[in-house]
Chains A and B, each alone.
Chain A
């Protein structure tokens, strides 16, 4: 009975349609796994938008849903970058918001009313399922093995390198961009293999979507021409390549230029020049191809050399002239920092100050990719063995992906897909080889074991491919060991992924969680407490000054105008805020008056030991301000004579007088017995007498003192300066003696 049914099952497993059905089921399960592993944060906390940038995307999405697409396109946002405002509609990648908006309206049309917040929160997990499917398709183009695609899909679904940017609530551009990246690559391979204009056009279409979604589209823009160039250098120029590339480039560039933020960049900036150059080069190649068919070979040789040399020279001269004339923008700062990791540190502190722009530490590779990282070279090696056009792509992608991931932490994201694909190829090759129970039947195998060497040579033909399966896999022991090891690795990988996702990538960072002594979870909700206070207690147009990290959150959660935010488009404005924070009260006050600041918000972690606070970020504020006002703000003066960065009574005078220091430690002493004030982040004891504040009033301090909000005082009603007005309020009399000594200034009407 059971044997019968097994046979039926086995027979069914051999049918093509059953396999397809199985594949569909497996892919669905993988997608479900991908989605569900990203839901930790929703289950632990709530359905909430995470971190910083997602808050802006969420706010923009709400605007889009409320006002429609055209209003969104022309959106002038007067609640950020006060008083400059931001042409938001023209300076963002609208793909993410439009995607959510379309989903929202589609669901409403289907009479399923879903809150836009839930769509935003769950968009990234939903797209991760699609990414897994795209990885499946891409891998299937590389190998004939059926399992490789499924493995790649599974890896893609749960690899922490990708999960880090796509957990539920992480509503960022990368949420949909990685899917688009992988799918565009798949379409490119397809177009290249078939030489098909249709697939090329589809590739351009998805490339356009990618451009609309993420600034990282430049990766595709550079990788595809590079792939084409490598193919040409390998002597693999073909009409297939010509058709695929030209279709993609012409349509894709047109599509990308439709995005207001991109506009004419594809023909103006250096980042896009390789694609344009290769497009021209392919035309030349096609022309030469034609000429070769028309000319005798001797003449053709001279013609070729002259022509190639001339063209190259002309093109280079044109590029140099156009760059120096300013027609083509030179490489941007972010791009330079890709080649020289210390470039940003020296020249553009604002880029260096972002932690995700730092070079990657090597353990991060193991943390984010686990055992895939050592299978990755094996997969690339297997690609070398076959080395068709599509394998060249994987090799090129692997090379550049690894380099960029090494330079910048966040680019780990672009590396992950190729690692998954290569590792899946490697594993599937291993498993296909070792799981093949059928080839040598047991008796034969035993007999053959005795006369090992002889049988091998005697076996049927001299063709290498046919002898290959007979090498070394006769024993069930070795099969068993290898397969078990692989299975173990795979299981460990799953465990690792789940652990990393659960522990490292599922914190919303808006809400902090800590464990109490009894092991229960304690939620530290200071951020939302403070933002809610702002929302309820301040005027609708009260301007909040804070360091730019919190700009998006204030805009999103407190709904108040901010001076600077995470869209760091105006370095001078950020430096102005940095100057206000790092100068003394007398210098800061006019700046705050000029910018109509009503409240100042600082993040202060000393009570709780929360290390991501403003005092720890303070040197970046100083550096950025120094970049604009080198005479007024000097980083050196914030250090002690021995070069230490201190906040205790050894701190330098400039440090103690800076507004940031005063706002952070104002009244902090009152929490402790006299002389016992302790900074738990810097692990130092603070001066006995805390700082005094004259131009600001403390307005709000959150439960754990993480957020402190100060109100900027108005000018004194009686025309005194704030210091003397505050002194009078404290009951100090004006010193007349000091007045007497100085000659009186005569009054002139």
Chain B
């Protein structure tokens, strides 16, 4: 009965977790619940992917991200709010705590509204700088939408984002035909990212874009907050616990009005926006539907002929041959797939005590792989140094959840009976011969002594006197 019940729970759990690996409770925070109409397609997409959406205004008394010390929601989506603050339920500390408790946040900004101070200080903690006075507008006089913003140049048309670095897996680029699709970024706020390795820009502004304050700098832009590629339009932060926070500079780009509309590049052709697909990918990444890695199992064992085949022993001996295998899966929208390391990247194993003694690339092990899981393996000889060592796999890449696995083993010295016997060492033969010679010589001397009678007894007695 109990097992049946637990089976049902398990089944239910697998069904529920079919959309995101961390849960399906999504809270949308917006000024007025009626505002959600303009995001109906985006929210509809989310709902169709299986999210359970709740709507709250920041002022709501019942709003609480935590209940009885546990997260009440798995993900939070912030749509722009007019209010200056977000009230006592959404202080920066609470939001930080939410991230620390593995909650994901998708944050949208808008040049029309000043960003609430609570979010500003949260972003400041993450080293994401907003323009001064919490508002700004990104314009580009070369890459604007001629159809909708011919005068103000505040709707940017961008090529679909490519990968940030050659070794980073690309989650956001367009499908087959990249040249025809463009991303519309209407009336958005650009942010400047600090140098931390947890931050990654998803979409950067074109080289000719800049940010200014339309209220104060309407006449002359004397001090530019940031310009060009330093201006991140959509940026991602993944904390050490793999909780994700995405800042989308323009909330408007998620609105129905910018999904699949025709835009026209300066001196170019009319094209359809890529916004709907991009919104899906950004939200999917933020809410842990893609780019989630899982370690299925780790196994290490002695790789010596005749040695015991015990898995994950706690102790090895110096100079043992050892094989280490790790199995990794990647969650991609709806299923676990085998994780393929990007072509320019390496998955590495460290065997370290204080500092690595070995740093080895892990190679795909086809024998232990399946469509759901890929096994990577490395074999090596344990160094000639006893101590407490760690098998370490430390794989932290932008857009992929962190893999930091540490398996501790002791490496002991040679036991007294594990050395080769003396006769097996050719260098010892002279000494063995020496011992043999001494023994035979001694025995011979004894025999000689015992069987030779003293000849002159008188002389000897004199001596002793």
Contact = CB atoms under 8 A, between A and B. Distances in A.
Interface of A: 70, 73-74, 76, 78, 82-85, 87, 90, 260, 293, 541, 594-595, 715-720, 728-729, 733-734, 736, 739, 744-747, 749
Contacts of A70: 416-417
A264 to B, nearest CB: 14
Given A76-B386, A293-B463, A746-B230, A728 B125 contact: yes
Given A736-B124, A749-B165, A749-B201, A78 B240 contact: no
A82 B121 contact: no
A541 B408 contact: yes
Contacts of A260: 416
B415 A74 contact: yes
B197 A719 contact: yes
Contacts of A744: 129, 192, 226
Given A718-B96, A744-B192, A747-B193, A733 B121 contact: yes
Nearest to B418: A74
Contact of A747 (B124, B195, B415): B195
B387 A83 contact: yes
Given A718-B239, A736-B124, A85 B230 contact: no
B198 A719 contact: yes
A85 B125 contact: no
A594 B121 CA distance: 32
B36 interface: no
Interface residues of B, number: 45
B193 A84 contact: no
B408 to A, nearest CB: 7
B353 A83 contact: yes
B125 A718 contact: yes
B368 interface: no
Nearest to B314: A78
Given A717-B239, A719-B197, A749-B164, A76 B125 contact: no
A395 B240 CA distance: 73
A749 B203 CA distance: 12
Interface in B112-144: 121, 124-127, 129
B354 A595 contact: yes
A87 B413 contact: yes
Contacts of A87: 386, 413
Give the residue among B193, B198, B315, B415 with the most A Cβ atoms within 10 A: B415
A73 B417 CA distance: 11
B127 A76 contact: no
Nearest to A744: B192
Contacts of A82: 388
A719 B240 contact: yes
Contacts of B410: 76, 78, 85
Interface of B: 92-93, 96, 99-100, 121, 124-127, 129, 164-165, 192-198, 200-201, 226, 230, 237, 239-241, 243, 315, 353-354, 386-389, 408, 410-413, 415-417, 463
Contact of A76 (B201, B243, B413): B413
B416 A74 contact: yes
Nearest to A260: B416
25 contacts: A73-B415, A78-B412, A83-B354, A83-B388, A84-B387, A84-B388, A85-B386, A85-B388, A85-B410, A260-B416, A718-B99, A719-B196, A719-B239, A719-B240, A720-B125, A733-B121, A734-B121, A734-B125, A744-B192, A745-B194, A745-B195, A747-B194, A747-B195, A749-B165, A749-B200
Q: Which of A84, A734, A749 neighbours the largest number of chain B CB atoms within 10 Å of its CB?
A: A749
B194 to A, nearest CB: 7
Contact of A594 (B192, B354, B415): B354
Contacts of A717: 99-100, 239-241, 243
B85 to A, nearest CB: 13
A736 B132 CA distance: 10
B262 to A, nearest CB: 32
Given A541-B408, A715-B240, A73 B230 contact: no
A719 B413 contact: no
Contacts of B389: 83
Closest 9 CB pairs of A and B: A76-B412, A74-B415, A78-B410, A83-B388, A719-B198, A719-B196, A717-B239, A734-B124, A717-B240
A157 to B, nearest CB: 40
B377 to A, nearest CB: 25
Contacts of B165: 749
**Majority secondary structure, B binding face:** mixed
Contacts of B126: 718-719
Identify the interface centre among A78, A260, A541, A715: most chain B CB within 10 Å of its CB: A78
Contacts of B124: 733-734, 736
Contacts of A595: 354
A718 B198 contact: yes
A734 B122 CA distance: 10
Nearest to A724: B125
Nearest to B243: A717
A591 to B, nearest CB: 10
Given A720-B125, A733-B121, A747-B193, A73 B416 contact: yes
A74 B413 CA distance: 8
B134 to A, nearest CB: 11
Contacts of A720: 125, 127
Contacts of A733: 121, 124
Nearest to B242: A717
A594 B392 CA distance: 13
Contacts of A729: 93
A651 to B, nearest CB: 33
- Residue of A73, A718, A734 with most chain B CB atoms under a 10 A cut-off: A718
B152 to A, nearest CB: 27
Contacts of B201: 747, 749
Nearest to A747: B193
A78 B197 CA distance: 35
A746 to B, nearest CB: 6
Given A78-B410, A594-B354, A719-B127, A747 B240 contact: no
A70 B353 CA distance: 27
Contacts of B125: 718, 720, 728, 734
A539 to B, nearest CB: 11
Nearest to B409: A78
Nearest to A720: B125
B135 to A, nearest CB: 15
Contacts of B237: 718
B258 to A, nearest CB: 27
Given A76-B413, A83-B354, A720-B125, A747 B230 contact: yes
Given A716-B240, A719-B196, 9 more contacts: A76-B386, A87-B386, A717-B239, A720-B125, A728-B92, A733-B121, A736-B124, A744-B129, A747-B194
B164 A78 contact: no
Nearest to A543: B388
Contacts of B463: 293
Contacts of B417: 70
Contact of A78 (B93, B226, B388): B388
- The winner among A87, A717, A746 for most chain B CB atoms within 10 A is A717
A433 B372 CA distance: 100
Nearest to A90: B413
Nearest to A729: B93
A171 to B, nearest CB: 26
B387 A85 contact: yes
A650 to B, nearest CB: 37
